[in-house]
Amino acid sequence: MTFEIILLGGCSVILIALFLKKRIGFQAQKSIDYESTGPQFDIRKNLNGPMLSEGIIYGPFGRVTSRFVAKMQAEWDGDVGQITEVFDYDSGNSQKRKWTLKVEKDGSIKANAQDLVGTGYGYQSGSAVVLNYTIKLTEGAGGHALKVTDWMYLMENGVVMNRSQFRKFGIKVAELVATMRPENSDQIVAK
């Protein structure tokens, strides 16, 4: 009888945790939540030209494991954009990534890069953009394939705040928080 009670209690805790995960917190966000909030985020306009990004990466236990500064160059031809990123990490390592993004008429986004497994998908709505994709880490970083959810939020002054979570088997293994802003600070307008 005691075993059944422990098993039932354990199952109840797991079900409650799964329910809460879908209802509150980072993973519960939906594009519609931002449809009528803040400035309108158009990825073609707000991620365009030379940009700078500063960010930190948290490990699975919530401690900062890495810091980076990145230079980005984004160019759009209508609804298709190329974004090149060059990351310089506090470890002394550098990484380069080139994205190809296509914005559809309904606001959906298709994303490709050389270290993605398959195609990433997302959506822009109101003041936010979400992208979901699977990234393959370099062999030096373990070579794992991680599911990533990127949420980008447009601030009133034109800065984009980015929060990303990286998961393996549904368990959060890393989180990234970064800013993205035009390289020419004159383009940032305080309200």
Task: Fold for 30-187, please state it.
Answer: Lipocalin (2.40.128)
User: 155: burial class by Cβ within 10 Å (0-12, 13-18, 19+)?
Assistant: middle
Contact at 8 Å (CB) between 138 and 122? Answer: no
Pairing assessment for the beta strands 49-58 and 171-182 based on DSSP bridges: antiparallel
Region of 25 (left: φ > 0; alpha: ψ -120 to 50; beta: rest) is left
SS3 at position 120 = strand
Distance in angstroms (rounded) separating the CA atoms of residues 74 and 51? 8
| CA 84 to chain CA centroid, nearest Å | 16
Q: What is the DSSP letter of 76?
A: E
* pLDDT tens, residue order, the chain (191 aa): 676 777 667 666 665 555 655 555 667 667 666 677 778 889 999 999 999 999 999 999 999 999 999 999 999 999 999 999 999 999 999 999 999 999 999 989 999 999 999 999 999 988 899 999 999 988 877 788 999 999 999 999 999 999 999 999 988 999 999 999 998 765 555 44
User: 173: burial class by Cβ within 10 Å (0-12, 13-18, 19+)?
Assistant: middle
pTM of the entire predicted model: 0.79
Helix (H), strand (E) at residue 3:
helix 2-23
